[in-house]
Amino acid sequence: MKNFIHEFKTFAMRGNVLDMAIGIIIGGAFTSIVNSLVNDVFTPVIGVITGGIDFSALSFGIGGAQIMIGNFINAVISFLLVALCVFIVMKAFNKIAKKKAEEPAPQPAPDPQVVLLEEIRDLLKNQNK
């Protein structure tokens, strides 16, 4: 039993598992932001542009079954809006990350031996003149 607990602890404390857990938690929080952006910002704007068309009542019947195609169309539109929001956010994030990556790293300090040799070279040049 001790071996099982030790193996589980090792598994749970690995960086990949913790990173994944943090990603899932952040993703859940980000979902509410994206849903709010779609439902509270984009959907009303699209409603104004389309004249408030609501597809949810759109349906047709086959035999005794009622196919609610309007709900499906609303879900597709919502998915496309969410995907667009995520794309825009990720594009902005990648642009910021790219700018940070392009910043040149500071030049490392030269080796003290190289500095000393350069000083000796310069002194010898000056003495020969």
pTM: 0.51
Distances (CA, A) of 92 to 7, 27, 29, 41, 98: 41, 17, 19, 19, 10
Do 63 and 34 lie in a common domain? Answer: no
Do 60 and 111 lie in a common domain? Answer: yes
Do 45 and 58 lie in a common domain? Answer: no
Do 74 and 114 lie in a common domain? Answer: yes
Distance CA 81, CA 49 (A): 15
Helices and strands counted in the chain (H then E): 5, 2
User: For residue 109, what are the contacts with CB-CB under 8 A and spacing of at least 6?
Assistant: none
**For position 125, what pLDDT does the model report?**
87
User: For residue 82, what are the contacts with CB-CB under 8 A and spacing of at least 6?
Assistant: 34, 35, 38
Do 68 and 109 lie in a common domain? Answer: yes
Confidence grade of residue 98 (pLDDT, cut at 50, 70, 90): confident
Please check whether residue 129 lies inside any domain of the structure.
no
pLDDT per residue as tens digits for the range 3-19: 888 888 777 777 677 77
Whether 40 shows a pLDDT value over 80: the answer reads: yes
**For position 21, what pLDDT does the model report?**
81
Query: Which domain, by its residues, includes 93?
Result: 54-124
Whether 100 shows a pLDDT value over 80: the answer reads: no
Long-range own/partner contacts, residues 30-36 (CB < 8 A, 24 or more apart): 34/82, 34/85, 34/86, 34/89, 35/82
**Higher pLDDT residue, 63 or 106?**
63
Confidence grade of residue 23 (pLDDT, cut at 50, 70, 90): confident
